[in-house]
A = this chain, B = another copy of it.
Amino acid sequence: MRVRGLGAAHDERRAAILEAVFAIVDAEGTHQVSIRRVAERAGVSVGRVQHYFPSKDELLSAAFTAINDRGTARVQARLADASSPLEAVLTELIPESEEDRRLFRVAQAFETHALTNSVLSLSLKESYDDLLGLLAALGGGPELLALALGLANLTLTGNLTAAQARAIIRSGIEKRG
Contact = CB atoms under 8 A, between A and B. Distances in A.
Contacts of A31: 30-31, 113
A23 interface: no
Contacts of A82: none
A176 B116 CA distance: 36
Q: Interface residues of A: mostly helix, strand, loop or mixed?
A: helix
Interface string A48-66: 0000000000000000000
A75 interface: no
A151 interface: yes
What class of interface size applies to chain A in its complex with B? 35 or more
A145, A148, A153, A172 — most chain B CB neighbours (10 Å): A153
A105 B112 CA distance: 8
B168 A128 contact: no
B143 A149 contact: no
Contact of A128 (B27, B115, B157): B157
A124, A143, A160 — most chain B CB neighbours (10 Å): A143
Given A111-B112, A142-B154, A149-B153, 7 more contacts: A28-B116, A31-B31, A124-B157, A125-B157, A125-B159, A132-B159, A153-B153
Interface of A: 25-31, 105, 108-109, 111-113, 115-117, 121, 124-125, 128-129, 132, 142-143, 145-151, 153-154, 156-160, 164-165, 168, 171-172, 175-176
